């Protein structure tokens, strides 16, 4: 089977993100961009499935301007076989992205689609679930373990109450959480090999998907400052304060 892995170009997780003074966005000037960390985990899982003999091809997909080809090449260097850029100069909201991915699915007919559980810029955590809905296929989100059994997969999910196990028939959409695996390092020679692997560019319009989204995101502000606190004299006063505030 083929596995499709979605990856997103995001501000590197080490960068200290700052809001622009005019509130129009986040300062990305000269800032390092990387593959979304959860997407790397998604790709690693796909590669392991292929290496175990349960898939023939791993395809990485990203939606964005030509800059995202840098991240697609990283995916190829990690071991993906092929890359697809859904070319769009405007950022896609999750529903449009899910629609675009569905079109790619119709072309490629994968048995499994693996995404990161959320992108560390928007923190939306929507695309995987939306894609599964539009595709009318199962979703297994926040997955920390996946075992393939022929035409189905047993997935362990990290939920608030603990670990939930579900079984999904393939094809399905899985979104991965941090504990799924630790992504491999890229070997230098593989960076060179990646330059020769196929990278197809498909303009968004060619997929018949429109950019528009129903959310208007505006006015970026830094997080609110915490109000000044108080000092207490002794333990008894501390306990009283906590009780007054209904905390214990």
Partner 1 sequence: MSNILIIAEHDGETLNASTAKCVSCAQAIGGEIDIAVLGDGIDAVASQAAALDSVRKVIAVNAGHLAAPLAANWAAEILNLAADYSHILGPSTTLGRDLMPRIAALAGVNQVSDIMEVNGPTSFKRPIYAGNAIVDVETADGAKVIATARIASWKAAGASGSAEIVQGAASGSAAGHTRYIGLESEGGERPDLQSASKVISGGRALGSEENFALIYSLADKIGAGVGASRAAVDAGYCANDMQVGQTGKIISPDLYIAFGISGAIQHVTGIKDAGTIVAVNKDSEAPIFEIADIGLTADLFSVIPELENLLG
Partner 2 sequence: MTEREIMEYDVIIVGAGPAGLSCAIRLKQKKPDLMVAVIEKSSEIGAHILSGAVIEPEPLDELLPGWRDNPPPICIPVERDEIWLLSQKGRRRLPTPPQQKNHGNYIVSLGAMCSWMANQAEALEVDIFPGYAAADIRFTEDGSVGGVIIGDMGVGRDGQPRDTYMQGIEIHAPVTILSEGVRGHLSKRLIKKFELDKDSDPQTYGIGMKELWRVQPGKSKPGLVQHTAGWPLDSHTYGGSFIYHLDKDRIAIGFVCGLDYQDPEFMPFEAFQQMKNHPMVHEMLEGGEILSSGARAIAEGGYQSLPRTEMPGALIIGDSAGTLNVPKIKGTHQAMRCGILAADHIAETSAVAGFDRKLRDSEVVRELYKVRNIRPAFYKGFWRGFIRAAIETVTAGKLPSTLSVHADDGALRKLEGYTPPDRKWVDRDLPPRDRLASVYFAATAHDEDQPVHLQILEPDICSTRCVEEYNNPCTRFCPAQVYEMVDSAEGRQLQINSANCVHCKTCDIKDPYQIINWVTPEGGSGPNYQNM
Nearer to partner 2, 21 or 216 (CB): 21
Contacting residue, 24, 32, 165, 243, with partner 2 by CB under 8 A: 32
Distance in angstroms (rounded) separating the CA atoms of residues 143 and 138? 13
List binders of partner 1 among 214-233 (CB under 8 A).
214-224, 226-227, 229-233
User: Is 19 among the residues that bind partner 2 (CB under 8 A)?
Assistant: no
Residue 163 interacts with, from partner 2, partner 1, none (CB under 5-8 Å by kind):
partner 1
Q: What is the nearest approach in angstroms of partner 1 to the Cβ of residue 215?
A: 5
Longest dimension (CA), the chain: 70
Quick one: which of 66, 106, 182, 206 contacts partner 2 (CB under 8 A)?
182
Distance CA 138, CA 228 (A): 48
Token pair of 48, please? 């392991």
Residue 228 CB neighbours (<10 A): 5
Q: Give the three-state DSSP class for 49.
A: helix
Q: What are phi and psi of 188, to 5 degrees?
A: -50, -50
Of the candidate spans 30-38, 48-56, 96-104, 145-153, the one that interacts with partner 2 by CB under 8 A turns out to be 30-38
Half-sphere exposure of 103 (CA within 13 A, CB side): 18
Q: Of partner 2, partner 1, none, which one sits near residue 196, judging by CB under 5 to 8 A according to partner kind?
A: none
> Is 82 within 8 Å of 200 (Cβ atoms)?
yes
Task: Report what 29 binds from partner 2, partner 1, none; CB cut-off 5-8 Å by kind.
Answer: partner 2
Binding of partner 1 by 247 (CB under 8 A): yes
Residues 6+ apart with CB under 8 A from 165: 154, 155, 156, 157
Q: Does 132 bind partner 1 (CB under 8 A)?
A: yes
Site for partner 2 contains 193 (CB under 8 A): no
Residue 210 lies near partner 1 (rule: CB under 8 A)? no
Residue of 121, 183, 199, 211 that binds partner 2 (CB under 8 A): 183
Nearer to partner 2, 31 or 159 (CB): 31
Main-chain phi, psi angles of 159, to 5 degrees: -115, 170
210 binds, among partner 2, partner 1, none (CB under 5 to 8 A by kind): none
* Binding segment toward partner 2, per CB under 8 A, in 29-37, 79-87, 120-128, 147-155: 29-37
Q: Does 19 bind partner 1 (CB under 8 A)?
A: yes
Closest by CA to 7, choosing from 88, 93, 99, 71, is: 71
Cβ–Cβ under 8 Å, residues 37 and 120: yes
Please tell me whether residue 30 binds partner 2 under the rule CB under 8 A: yes
Number of residues written out for the chain: 248
Query: How far apart are the C-alpha atoms of 57 and 43, rounded to whole Å?
Result: 12
Interaction site with partner 2 (CB under 8 A): 12, 14-16, 18, 29-32, 182-185, 187-189, 191-192
């Amino acid at each position: 089977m083929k596995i499709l892995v979605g990856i997103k170009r995001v501000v590197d997780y080490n960068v200290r993100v700052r809001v622009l003074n005019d509130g129009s966005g986040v300062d990305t000037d000269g800032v390092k961009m990387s593959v979304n960390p959860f997407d790397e985990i998604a790709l690693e899982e796909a590669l392991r499935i292929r290496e175990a003999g349960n898939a023939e091809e791993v395809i990485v997909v990203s939606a964005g301007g030509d800059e995202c080809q840098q991240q697609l090449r990283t995916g190829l260097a990690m071991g993906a076989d092929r890359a697809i850029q859904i070319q769009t100069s405007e950022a896609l909201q999750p529903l449009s992205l899910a629609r675009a991915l569905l079109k790619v699915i119709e072309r490629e007919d994968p048995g499994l689609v693996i995404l990161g559980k959320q992108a560390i810029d928007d923190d939306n955590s929507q695309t995987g679930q939306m894609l599964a809905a539009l595709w009318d296929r199962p979703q297994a989100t926040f997955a920390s373990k996946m075992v393939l059994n022929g035409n189905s997969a047993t997935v362990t999910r990290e939920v608030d109450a603990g670990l939930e196990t579900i079984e999904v028939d393939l094809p399905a959409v899985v979104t991965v959480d941090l504990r799924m695996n630790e992504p491999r390092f890229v070997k230098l020679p593989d960076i060179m090999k990646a330059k020769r692997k196929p990278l197809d560019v498909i303009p968004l319009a060619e997929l018949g998907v429109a950019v528009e989204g129903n959310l208007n995101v505006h006015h970026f502000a830094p997080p609110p400052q915490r109000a000044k606190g108080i000092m207490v004299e002794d333990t008894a006063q501390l306990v009283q304060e906590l009780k007054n505030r209904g905390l214990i």
